[in-house]
Amino acid sequence: MNEKMIRQIKSEAKLIFTGDYSGHDMQHTMRVCRTAVKIAEKEGADVELTIVTALLHDVDDRKLTGKQGKAENAADILRKCGVDEKTAEKICRNIERISFHGTGENVPEDIEGRIVQDADRLDAMGAIGIARTFAYAGNKKQRLFPDEENEGHKSAVSHFYDKLLKLSGLMNTETARQMAQERHCFMLAFLDELDREMENEKDG
């Protein structure tokens, strides 16, 4: 893979995200890409492979495509951009395992895939993760807080307990595990402050 191919892959990915507000936009993709490169350099992984995997990691997300399974968009883009068959298959196998689905048993085969999975999870944590969660919840017409009358209904705050607070324990690489600490603590501080303000409101 060369620089020209990578540039072409990036613009193809951009086209797929046009008009998406579920948090799968090019800004997210580029943040994941930058974080993944940082991790790859520390972990001694292949940087180009990491970049391409990051650029394509969400192009087949079921929230975008409406279906779950094969990395079809990624395969099309890789073919179109002239990536050889074997490398393309390897990248697609990794992409198919990156998404979080509950328990974290989906681990990509290669270190580059595992790094992108870490970078993707880091982008769901910390200040950015908090912002994305509230944007997503608003988009899905969810409330800010769990509703006592509708127990079990999803809300922005319940998502922290369903997913976000579990992510720091799911990192594949030591580098990402360290990066996750600060973001995890920031989310806990945010939830504490939220509680404190809610309590004050009750008193007043």
Q: Are 53 and 94 in contact (CB under 8 A)?
A: yes
> Cβ 113 to ligand ADP, closest distance in Å?
14
> Phi/psi of residue 98, each to 5°?
-75, -40
Interaction partner, residue 14 (ligand ADP, Ni ion, none; CB < 5-8 Å by kind):
none
Q: Are 129 and 183 in contact (CB under 8 A)?
A: yes
Q: Does the protein bind Ni ion through residue 58 (CB under 5 A)?
A: yes
> Cβ 8 to ligand ADP, closest distance in Å?
22
Interaction partner, residue 71 (Ni ion, ligand ADP, none; CB < 5-8 Å by kind):
none
Q: Rule CB under 5 A: choose which of 55, 110, 120, 129 binds Ni ion.
A: 120
Q: Are 142 and 135 in contact (CB under 8 A)?
A: no
Question: Given the complex with ligand ADP, which of 4 and 106 has the nearer CB atom?
Answer: 106
- Give the separation between CA 95 and CA 90, rounded to whole angstroms: 9
For the chain, the residue count is 204
> Cβ 137 to ligand ADP, closest distance in Å?
4
Interaction partner, residue 113 (ligand ADP, Ni ion, none; CB < 5-8 Å by kind):
none
> Cβ 203 to ligand ADP, closest distance in Å?
29
Question: Given the complex with ligand ADP, which of 118 and 120 has the nearer CB atom?
Answer: 120
Residue ranges binding ligand ADP (CB under 6 A) = 23-24, 28, 58, 61, 63, 99-100, 120, 124, 129, 132-133, 136-137, 154, 156, 159, 163
Using alpha carbons, select from 4, 95, 108 the residue that is nearest to residue 53: 95
> Cβ 147 to Ni ion, closest distance in Å?
28
Site string for Ni ion, 78-117 (x = CB under 5 A): ----------------------------------------
Residues between 155 and 184 that touch Ni ion (CB under 5 A): none
Question: Given the complex with ligand ADP, which of 124 and 171 has the nearer CB atom?
Answer: 124
